[in-house]
Every structure is written in structure tokens, then in C-alpha cells.
Chains A and B, each alone.
Chain A
């Protein structure tokens, strides 16, 4: 953690919103990438983003510099994502009884800088298939896998975020990777 980030955190702990804004700017892309991979509707991504940073701000005094700020923030984001997924599961269960939604949890289409139509079609197709595959993974495997391959976290950081050991995380990611590859192989080979 650099001294500037430390300074921002200390000021934000005293209620300085400008300092907190700097922290948000520094970490929001990382957090947003994680959230967008775990919660797929645009509306829910925005909700979880807001909830994550609101919660981080209100609990900032509990941060004691024992881990990296990003690890601490990611832990909050993961909890918020899992909470949202649980809410969605209940909501979908309820709405399914009232009226069948067309594509639950799959409304978000990824925007891309300037892709060719073929690239867009292929990326969207691959991404949608990946989403479906990831959705079928057990919660712990999916979270560890996304943190590793989408957010590029180290195994040590993932273990700290998820409150587990490196060995367990390795096993979870290995199993998730096997399932993802198997599914991709069946779909696109």
C-alpha cells in the first residue's frame, strides 16, 4: 500500500468524502469487473456497486491496515454480490410463479470498444456460454474462479478474501477450470 493511499484511507476514516472519492476512483474498475462477472443484470450491477462502496465507507473505521485495502474492499464486494444473488434467486423463484421471465439474469450484453460484427457475435456468444457455465458452478468455486481469472487476484489474496486456505482455493479453481473447459469443449469444438 503506497503512502498516498494510506493517507486517503486515514482521511476518509475521519469522514473526508473527497479522499474517499480518490479511493473509489482507484479501485472502482476492479470492483466493477468483479461485480459484472458475478451479477449479470445492468441494474443489479449498479446496485451492488453502490452498496459495496456505501458499506465500505460506513465500515471504514474497522479497516486496520492488516491487509491490502483492495483485498478488504473485494471481500465486501464479494459479500454484496452473494447477497444480491440470493435475493435474485428468491425474486426469480417468486416471479417465475407469476409470469415466466424471458431470460432471467441474462439481460446484460457486454459493450466492446469497437468490435467488428463477427467479433461482437462471437464474443457475445462465448461470453453468454461462459456465463451459463459459471452460473452452474458451485458458489465457492465460481467466486474463486472469477477472482482468479477475471480479476487476476493471486491465490493468497483469494484465500484471504474468501476466508479460506490457499490449498482449498487451488482445488476449487482447478475443479472450476475443468468444468469450464469441458463445457467450452462440448459447445465450440
Chain B
């Protein structure tokens, strides 16, 4: 016989006396009238009994006594008292908590002092980084900002005024404020684009550089090199796209041309490839240099690039036709 569905949950706890008195009584009353539930409780009690008495293996008294003796011998051989904290310094001395706290505070104070000394030394002496990188620190409002200093907290650029504000995440709160057209600011931006970990900071740096391009129409060698490095190493596609758009507005250099061609031919991101193509085209790449790319692009997987290549090749042929026919007639 099967137990009643509504009692199933209680029978198990009834069998091991885990119900409250009222519920226990209810179940007992029910069992008097229901053979199915009685059978179920009997089965549960057999299993419970078996688990309690027979199931778990027992260790005989002799073995247990031997185990206890071995345990007590081990405990007696232990050097420490129960609950004792292992002494500081391998047991040489055990300092009181107050002394421990005092030592900890002294260590913290020493750390701060060491930090301050280091900041002062960077202001007065030539830092090691300067010797290694050859980049001089920038003196700004009585503070020395090293361009290779990483950890920018905020980089704000105002396109209307052309001002930037760079807040470094340093203990002595270094902040730079000034025009993006200043060489110092450009040096900081060039380093920020390639050194900063945060893609948001790198993107703001690129946007600030685009402001410089809009105003001056060209970039310094250092900024151009940083843009090239950024385009080669950057993982964030948004930052790369922004950088490519900046390159579109500056005259082509040998380095930038190489990178653009590389992106156009090998990059996986179609938006970047199209942008690289437009950049190469708008920068008036010489026809002789452009033609081989256009020929290879006629077979491209991108229908847009195929269309643009075919269109441009036709346009170039049409432009060359009258010149050639004029040359022929002149020769004749």
C-alpha cells in the first residue's frame, strides 16, 4: 500500500521524532486509521535503525584505546600550550600586542617617509627613468611630471577651448592642465596613448590628438610614432577606429602608409579596413602605388571594397585615356 500524498513530508520526520508536539500528535492519529502510512513509517524506522546500529562500522575498544594513547603521546610531545599563538621570530620572544602595534605603526611611518624621500629625489636629481628613456621630466607648477608616468586617473579634453586636464593616480596628486598645442601636453598625450591601461583614457588621448590635427593639420614625429604604435598594438577596436580617423586628416608618412596598407590587407575588422582604404585614398597616395592594391582588392571578400576598387580603377583608366591618345597623336 502506498502512503498518503499529503502526509509524505511528515512521515520521515515523525519516524525520527523531529516534529513538534502538535504535528506529531496529528500524524499519530492519522497512522491509527491509515495502513499505507503505517507501513511507510515502519519501513523508515527499519532503515533508520539499520543506519544507527549496524551500518556504521565500529572500532573495537582495544584499537580505540591504542589510538587514544597514541594521540595523548603526540599531544604530550608538542612544545606549545593549547591555543598558544606561535611566537613571533621562531620563539625568540613573544611581544605584547601593544609592542606589535607600535612596530606596525613605525613601519607604516617609515614607508611614508621613504615615499616622500623618493618624490623629493625625483625633483632634484635626474631620475633613472630619464637616463633609460632619454625623456626629460616636465616641470609644471613646482611639480615634476615624467611623461612615462603611467596610471592616469582622468584625462579630460575640451574641444572648444583646446584645453586638457590630466589627473595622475599618484599619492602626491599630480595634475596637468594646459593647452593641447603645448609641446609638453603633446608629449604627455603621446605617452598616454601607448602606456595607459584604461581604453577610455587612451580614447580620450586620441580625441585630444584629433583636436591638434584639426587645428595644426599635422602631427609631431613623437605623436605620429605613438599613433603608429597604438594602431599596431591596440586591442580595443573603438580606439583603433578613432586613431585611423585621425590619420585620415594628416599627410601620409612612410610609417603611417605601411600601417594603413597592413590594416587594409590583413586586418579582420572590416570597418577598420574600409577606414584604412579611405585614409590611403584621401591622402592622395600616388597612383602608381595605389594601383597594385586596387588590383588585389578586385578579388576582396568585402563587396564594398571590391566595388570601390573597380570604380577607382575605371576612373583612373578614363583619366589616363585622353593623355595617352594625345601622346600618340603627338608622336604620329
Contact = CB atoms under 8 A, between A and B. Distances in A.
Interface of A: 12-15, 17, 20-21, 24-25, 28-29, 32-33, 36-37, 45-46, 49-50, 53-54, 57-62, 108-112, 123, 126-127, 130, 148-150, 152, 154-155, 170, 174, 177, 180-181, 184
A58 B47 contact: no
A63 B181 CA distance: 70
B57 interface: yes
B52 A150 contact: yes
B85 to A, nearest CB: 10
Interface string B48-88: 10111011111110001001101110111010111110000
A44 B95 CA distance: 39
23 contacts: A14-B81, A14-B82, A15-B82, A21-B68, A28-B64, A29-B64, A32-B64, A45-B59, A50-B74, A54-B71, A58-B78, A61-B82, A62-B83, A110-B54, A111-B57, A111-B60, A126-B55, A127-B54, A150-B52, A150-B55, A170-B13, A177-B12, A180-B47
B104 interface: no
Given A32-B59, A46-B67, A148 B83 contact: no
Contacts of A150: 51-52, 55-56
The 8 closest A-B pairs by CB, nearest first: A61-B83, A110-B57, A149-B51, A37-B56, A15-B81, A60-B82, A150-B56, A36-B57
Given A32-B64, A111-B58, A13 B82 contact: yes
Given A60-B83, A127-B55, 11 more contacts: A17-B76, A25-B68, A28-B68, A60-B82, A62-B83, A110-B58, A111-B57, A112-B54, A170-B13, A174-B9, A177-B12
A111 B56 CA distance: 10
Given A54-B75, A60-B82, A127-B54, A149 B48 contact: yes
B77 to A, nearest CB: 11
Interface residues of A: mostly helix, strand, loop or mixed?
Answer: helix
B300 interface: no
Nearest to A149: B51
Given A25-B68, A111-B60, A184 B47 contact: yes
Interface of B: 9, 12-13, 16, 18, 47-48, 50-52, 54-60, 64, 67-68, 70-72, 74-76, 78, 80-84
B75 A17 contact: yes
Given A50-B70, A61-B82, A130 B51 contact: yes
Contacts of B50: 126
Contacts of B55: 37, 126-127, 130, 150
Nearest to A38: B56
Contacts of A24: 68, 71-72
Nearest to B48: A149
